């Protein structure tokens, strides 16, 4: 074995891009940037240490109390007993069978949210879903933590699936460069987040485009709590988190009161402005939505709002909205209001004008490609039709059988007895982790496939060690990228790790569904099959893709799928002829007022966008919790992945908390100090970083540190989710509202 893995350098792909890997014997020893990446990330630097880290799960492991007497309370602090694969698979299969027989498949939660790793076949979620479908199905989840709320609200407004709009139909960077004069970025466009794109991103180009925008004199304005959310050189209007709807309303008010609204556009392409206008002008609630009104909420100078509104009305303006804005309570409102504001400007459907979502959130948004999709491992059909909004898992576990509202429907939460998770880390990603820790005691059994002993693995009953992508072969490809990779197996599996496919094959076989799951194919057979299907699809579009053997030899190829010049967006044909190409809304137009939403009768998301203050923000700050906490994505890695190796590095843990000098001085905090960040839900440690790049009153603590404290007083690593709220954005979207939280910060005496 060792010989076939003797010294070699190969390229592989990941969610944060392609990189070269040096292998010696059975170890990854170094990584280097991919040759044609203009701006490679540093994330792979920590990969060699992480892959061989002592926190790898080496053997199948079953928690002692669960094995002895199916006890649940020990999750998170009890030790595990290692077992041989066959024995552990027997026990797991028997338990899955028992739960199915006793409670039915509706008692199995297999939503299994998470990014797992790139690679088309060994895609953990596809694997676990297919397995569960083969044995009768599972309760699934809808949407993502990234965009769940937008996925619910935006189809009502634009009549199109939000992800389709996002990934197939927005202006490309070239179009923005060529046509846009004013770029208004709510929540910024962050090169730090652009490092990542699901499925892979080879050429990191966001920062390069901003250099070109600057050279061309495009005015770029970042509206939000952190200057660093946009590249250097952009204007910054420091605003309070959660106040964006008020700012957008004030911009709309200026347009309407100064005769700058494009009423021809509203008449031809939208419905419901007449029902929204009285609210905007204050006729319904006595409060005109003036810049002065907005200033009291958002903290931005009214003069700056006035000036911006006029500039937006008189230049080609593109509004972008970060995903973070809908990851907060009432996150539906800024999304809907951004569409209304863009409609009032009347530039939707013109190149470089209108509104777009998620630029910078992931690096793939803005790349202009001609669609060549495909290469997915079929999950088969789920016979169980129960689906919860993804971020409502804590609620579901706390309230079995209780009704909840979601986008016009009301139904009871299922009663979950078994959870299967592969490729995600809910103890990193979910809100209010101390509350989740309690809710997690509900199910009888929790099974996790994981390469590392994450906080989630530690809270499982049965843990199967999974390989990382470097320990198996796969194909790397993303709908938002123009490269194709053969991802070779670089090293043998670490410890006794197996691929998710092998784990699920073993379980399916024991449960009598082996043939349905595998169709009698090995992993290599599946990779060949999926690849051939993809090649055929490409050939139909006149795109030449090498055969698999050639790709294996070359390691990677660049696909000729870049769209040349400005691209044509979703709204262009609609603008040209709204009768012939209506939108998919009930009216066929952009819905400023939605009869459908109005009919739901939700006071937390009525028939047109309105300003709704969240329950925690600077407007409700208290002495006990005076600071607004935003918890953005980490710049140095992907979520909680590779965490154990990063945490070993001097000075990296606890995670850094950005705080404004004014807030730091009054608390006697200096850069480098250890601080305690806390509120009524929990507490964590962090390392202070005093900076003027954040608005006073706001602190930022990135996600990604492993949740380190089992039910005690303080999370030692700095996971912001001990502080965040586990409430839905509204009854309509029920998305994650992580960015809505108030905290206090004090120094820790050392």
Ligand X SMILES: Nc1nc2c(c(=O)[nH]1)N[C@H]1C(S)=C(S)[C@@H](COP(=O)(O)OP(=O)(O)OC[C@H]3O[C@@H](n4cnc5c(=O)[nH]c(N)nc54)[C@H](O)[C@@H]3O)O[C@H]1N2
* Residue appearing with tokens 């964590």: 684
Per-residue binder mask for ligand X (CB under 6 A), 343-362, x = binder? ------------------xx
How many Cα neighbours within 13 Å face the side chain of 386? 23
d(C-alpha 534, C-alpha 374), whole Å: 6
Run of H or E residues at 644: helix 643-647
641 binds, among ligand X, Mo ion, none (CB under 5 to 8 A by kind): ligand X
Contact 575, 270 (CB under 8 A): no
Minimum distance of Mo ion from residue 116's CB (angstroms) = 13
Residue closer to ligand X, measured from CB, 437 or 739: 739
Work out which of 126, 379, 434, 449 binds ligand X, going by CB under 6 A: 449
Interatomic CA distance for residues 117 and 104, integer angstroms: 31
Please pick, from the candidates 66, 131, 210, 452, the single residue that binds ligand X as defined by CB under 6 A: 452
Taking the complex as a whole, the smallest distance from the CB of residue 324 to Mo ion amounts, in Å, to 10
Q: How many CA atoms lie within 13 A of 114 on its CB side?
A: 30
DSSP category for residue 129: H
Q: Residue from 75, 120, 122, 367 that binds ligand X (CB under 6 A)?
A: 122
| Helix, coil or strand: residue 545 | coil
Task: For residue 301, count other CB atoms closer than 10 A to its CB.
Answer: 12
Q: For the CB of residue 263, give the shortest distance to ligand X in the complex, in Å.
A: 28
Which of 53, 56, 192, 330 touches ligand X (CB under 6 A)?
Answer: 192
SS (H, E, C) 620-643: HCCCCCCEEEECCCCCCCCCCCCH
Strand partners, 446: 419
Give alpha helix (H) positions in 54-84: 64-69
Query: How many angstroms separate the CA atoms of 474 and 124, rounded?
Result: 12
Choose one: 19-27, 51-59, 140-148, 507-515; the region binding Mo ion (CB under 5 A).
140-148
Residue 193 binding ligand X, by CB under 6 A:
yes
Binders in 630-649 for ligand X, by CB under 6 A = 630-635, 638-641
For position 631 contacting Mo ion by CB under 5 A, the verdict is no
CB 195 within 8 A of CB 16: yes
Termini Cα distance of the chain:
51
Q: Decide if 250 contacts 282 (C-beta within 8 A).
A: no
How many residues comprise the chain?
Answer: 750
Query: Which residues are within 8 A (CB) of 512 and not within 5 positions of it... i.e. 6 or more apart?
Result: none
Closest CA to 425 of 460, 461, 395, 399: 460
Among 270, 454, 729, 737, binds ligand X (CB under 6 A): 454
* Active-site residue identified among 16, 115, 293, 323: 115
User: Is residue 450 within the footprint of ligand X (CB under 6 A)?
Assistant: yes
Nearest distance from C-beta of residue 641 to Mo ion, angstroms? 13
Query: Which CB, 332 or 444, lies closer to Mo ion?
Result: 332
- Select from ligand X, Mo ion, none the partner in contact with residue 218, using the beta carbon and a kind-dependent cut-off of 5 to 8 Å: none
Q: Is 428 a binder of ligand X (CB under 6 A)?
A: yes
Greatest pairwise CA separation for the chain in angstroms: 79
DSSP state of 44: G
Question: Which range, of 218-226, 258-266, 365-373, 619-627, touches ligand X by CB under 6 A?
Answer: 218-226
Joined together, the tokens standing for residue 88 give 């552990």
Counting contacts by CB under 6 A, is residue 527 touching ligand X? no
With CB under 5 to 8 Å by kind, the binding choice for 51 among ligand X, Mo ion, none is: none
* Contact status: 471 vs ligand X (CB under 6 A): no
**Residue selected from 354, 394, 424, 465 as contacting ligand X according to rule CB under 6 A:** 424
| Angle value at C-alpha 481, between 477 and 484, nearest 5 degrees | 40
146 binds Mo ion (CB under 5 A): yes
Binders of ligand X among residues 140 to 169 (CB under 6 A) are: 145-146
Q: Is 85 a catalytic residue?
A: no
Number of residues this chain uses to bind Mo ion (CB under 5 A): 1
Does 534 participate in catalysis according to the annotation? no
Residue 145 CB, nearest approach to Mo ion (Å): 5
Number of residues that bind ligand X (CB under 6 A): 64
Q: Cα 325 to the chain's mean position, in Å?
A: 12
Residue 325 makes contact with ligand X by CB under 6 A? yes
In this structure, are residues 189 and 228 in contact, taking their beta carbons and an 8 Å threshold? no
**221 lies in the binding site for ligand X (CB under 6 A):** no
Compare residues 113 and 121 and give the one whose CB is closer to Mo ion: 113
Beta-bridged to residue 418, according to DSSP, are 108, 445
- In the set 16, 66, 113, 413, the catalytic residue is 113
- 241 binds, options ligand X, Mo ion, none, Cβ within 5 to 8 A by partner type: ligand X
Kindly list the residues in this chain that would bind Mo ion in the complex (CB under 5 A).
146
Active site residues: 113, 115
Kindly list the residues in this chain that would bind ligand X in the complex (CB under 6 A).
114-117, 122, 124, 145-146, 186-188, 190, 192-193, 195-196, 223-226, 229, 239, 241-242, 244, 322-325, 327-328, 361-362, 422-425, 428-429, 449-452, 454, 466, 468, 500, 630-635, 638-641, 700, 703, 720-721, 724, 738-739
């Amino acid at each position: 074995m060792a010989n076939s893995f003797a010294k070699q350098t190969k390229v592989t792909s990941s969610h944060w891009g392609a990189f070269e890997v040096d292998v010696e014997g059975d170890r990854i020893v170094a990584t280097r940037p991919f040759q044609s990446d203009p701006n490679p990330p540093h994330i792979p630097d920590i990969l060699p240490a992480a892959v061989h880290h002592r926190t790898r799960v080496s053997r199948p492991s079953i928690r002692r109390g669960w094995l002895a007497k199916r006890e649940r309370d020990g999750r998170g602090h009890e030790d595990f007993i290692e077992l041989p694969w066959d024995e552990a698979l027997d026990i797991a299969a028997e338990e899955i069978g028992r739960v199915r027989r006793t409670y039915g498949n509706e008692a199995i939660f297999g939503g299994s949210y998470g990014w797992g790793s790139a690679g088309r076949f060994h895609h953990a979620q596809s694997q676990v879903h297919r397995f569960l479908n083969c044995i009768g199905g599972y309760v699934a989840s809808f949407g993502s933590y990234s965009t769940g709320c937008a996925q619910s609200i935006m189809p009502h407004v634009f009549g199109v699936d939000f992800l389709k709009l996002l990934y197939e139909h927005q202006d490309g960077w070239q179009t923005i460069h060529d046509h846009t004069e004013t770029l208004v970025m709510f929540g910024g466009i962050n090169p730090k987040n652009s490092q990542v794109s699901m499925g892979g991103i080879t050429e990191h180009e966001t920062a390069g485009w901003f250099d070109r925008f600057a050279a061309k004199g495009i005015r770029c304005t970042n509206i939000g709590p952190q200057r660093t959310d946009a590249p250097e050189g952009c204007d910054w209007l420091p605003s309070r988190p959660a106040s964006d709807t008020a700012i957008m309303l004030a911009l709309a008010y200026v347009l309407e009161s100064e005769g700058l609204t494009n009423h021809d556009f509203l008449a031809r392409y939208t419905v419901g402005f007449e029902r929204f206008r009285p609210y905007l002008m204050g006729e319904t609630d006595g409060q005109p939505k003036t810049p002065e009104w907005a200033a009291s909420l958002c903290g931005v100078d009214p003069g700056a709002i006035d000036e911006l509104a006029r500039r937006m009305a008189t230049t080609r303006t593109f509004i972008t909205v970060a995903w973070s804005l809908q990851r907060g309570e009432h996150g539906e409102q800024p999304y809907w209001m951004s569409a209304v504001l863009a409609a009032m400007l009347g530039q939707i459907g013109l190149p470089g004008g209108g509104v777009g979502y998620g630029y910078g959130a992931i690096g793939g948004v803005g790349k202009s490609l001609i669609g060549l999709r495909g290469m997915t491992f079929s999950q088969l059909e789920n016979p169980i039709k129960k689906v919860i909004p993804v971020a409502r898992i804590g609620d579901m576990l706390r309230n079995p059988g209780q009704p909840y509202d979601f986008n016009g429907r009301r139904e009871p939460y299922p009663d979950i007895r078994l959870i299967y998770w592969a490729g995600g880390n809910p103890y990193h990603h979910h809100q209010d982790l101390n509350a989740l820790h309690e809710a997690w005691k509900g199910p009888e059994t929790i099974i996790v496939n994981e390469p590392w002993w994450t906080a989630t693995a530690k809270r499982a009953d049965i843990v199967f060690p999974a390989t990382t992508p470097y320990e198996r072969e796969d194909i790397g490809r993303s709908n938002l990228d123009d490269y194709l990779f053969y991802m070779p197996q670089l090293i043998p599996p670490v410890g006794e790790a197996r691929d998710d496919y092998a784990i699920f094959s073993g379980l399916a076989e024991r449960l009598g569904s082996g043939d349905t799951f595998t169709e009698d194919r090995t992993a290599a057979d599946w990779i060949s099959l999926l690849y051939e299907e993809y090649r055929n699809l490409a050939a139909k579009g006149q795109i030449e893709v090498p055969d698999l053997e050639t790709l294996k030899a070359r390691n990677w190829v660049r696909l000729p799928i870049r769209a040349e010049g400005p691209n044509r967006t979703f709204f262009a044909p609609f603008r040209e002829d709204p009768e012939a190409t209506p939108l998919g809304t009930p009216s066929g137009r952009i819905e400023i007022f939605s009869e459908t939403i109005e009919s739901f009768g939700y006071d937390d998301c009525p028939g047109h966008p309105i300003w709704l203050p969240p329950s925690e923000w600077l407007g409700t700050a208290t002495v006990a919790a005076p600071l607004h906490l935003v918890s953005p994505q980490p710049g140095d890695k992907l979520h909680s992945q590779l965490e154990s190796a990063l945490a070993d590095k001097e000075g990296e843990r606890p995670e850094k908390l950005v705080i404004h000098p004014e807030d730091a001085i009054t608390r006697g905090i200096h850069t480098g100090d250890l601080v305690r960040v806390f509120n009524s839900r929990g507490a964590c440690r962090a390392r202070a970083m005093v900076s003027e790049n954040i608005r006073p009153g706001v602190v930022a603590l990135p996600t990604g540190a492993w949740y380190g404290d089992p039910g005690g007083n303080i999370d030692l690593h700095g996971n912001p989710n001990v502080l965040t709220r586990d409430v839905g954005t509204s009854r309509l979207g029920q998305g994650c509202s992580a960015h809505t939280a108030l905290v206090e910060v004090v120094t820790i005496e050392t």
